[in-house]
């Protein structure tokens, strides 16, 4: 038996404290704040983005910049708000100049997200954008073709939608996202019927 092994069950306090001490990749050295996750810790629906941007890095909370404002509108369209869902990212520290998180950074950070999912026990997973979908659904996931389709991810229903940043850059994608959101709304309704 390992004398130093921590056998206590996982908890939000333990996870957050361990995550705050993480130096498993280079992003920890340049971040202002850890962006752990936010929302309902027993939510049925969990949204997973890519990584913090500038505002998230400053405020220590996911999706509080321009993309986050649009995410709030998207939630509202299907009668949800931040108190009803849990929101986290693949990486917890901001990649410099908002570049995509590198594969080794994603891999180094995944353990935290897996433990968050284990604690929340969501029934539905919604991936915001290609990066999260490629991690969880399949490495060659094509967001333009496969957004809005339902997949099985470790026994959970899961869907990817366009990242709100993509919808800010290209509003012509918004009608398709509306259709995907309505599909999510139906799926949520099915949970309670
Ligand atoms: N984009 C993300 O993927 N996550 C955030 O928290 C903010 C912007």
Which pLDDT tens digits describe the chain residue by residue (193 residues)?
567 777 788 999 999 999 999 999 999 999 999 999 999 999 999 999 999 999 999 999 999 999 999 999 999 999 999 999 999 999 999 999 999 999 999 999 999 999 999 999 999 999 999 999 999 999 999 999 999 999 999 999 999 999 999 999 999 999 999 999 999 999 999 999 8
Q: How far apart are the CA of 47 and the centre of ligand 1, in A?
A: 11
pLDDT > 90: what percent of the chain?
Answer: 95
Pocket probe mutation, ligand 1, options 128, 130, 160, 168, max atoms within 8 Å of Cβ: 128
| pLDDT tens-digit map of 95-151 | 999 999 999 999 999 999 999 999 999 999 999 999 999 999 999 999 999 999 999
Nearest CA to ligand 1 atom 7: 63
Q: How far apart are the CA of 48 and the centre of ligand 1, in A?
A: 9
Go through the domains of the chain in sequence order and give each one's CATH number. Answer: 23-192 (3.40.470.10)
User: Quick one: CA dihedral 139, 172, 180, 163, positive or negative?
Assistant: positive
Phi, psi of 159 (to 5 degrees): -145, 150
């Amino acid at each position: 038996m390992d004398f130093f092994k921590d056998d206590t069950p996982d908890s939000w306090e333990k996870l957050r404290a361990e995550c705050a001490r993480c130096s498993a990749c280079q992003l920890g050295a340049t971040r202002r704040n850890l962006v752990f996750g936010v929302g309902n810790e027993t939510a049925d629906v969990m949204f997973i983005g890519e990584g913090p941007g500038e505002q998230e890095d400053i405020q220590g909370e996911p999706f509080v910049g321009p993309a986050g404002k649009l995410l709030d509108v998207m939630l509202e369209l299907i009668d949800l708000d931040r108190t009803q869902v849990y929101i986290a990212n693949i990486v917890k520290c901001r990649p410099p100049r908002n570049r995509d998180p590198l594969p080794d950074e994603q891999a180094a950070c995944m353990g935290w997200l897996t433990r968050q999912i284990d604690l929340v026990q969501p029934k539905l997973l919604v991936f915001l954008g290609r990066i999260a979908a490629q991690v969880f659904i399949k490495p060659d996931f094509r967001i333009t073709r496969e957004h809005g389709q339902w997949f099985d991810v470790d026994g959970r229903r899961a869907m990817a939608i366009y990242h709100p940043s993509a919808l800010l850059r290209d509003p012509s994608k918004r009608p398709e996202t509306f259709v995907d959101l309505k599909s999510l709304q139906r799926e949520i309704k099915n949970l309670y019927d």
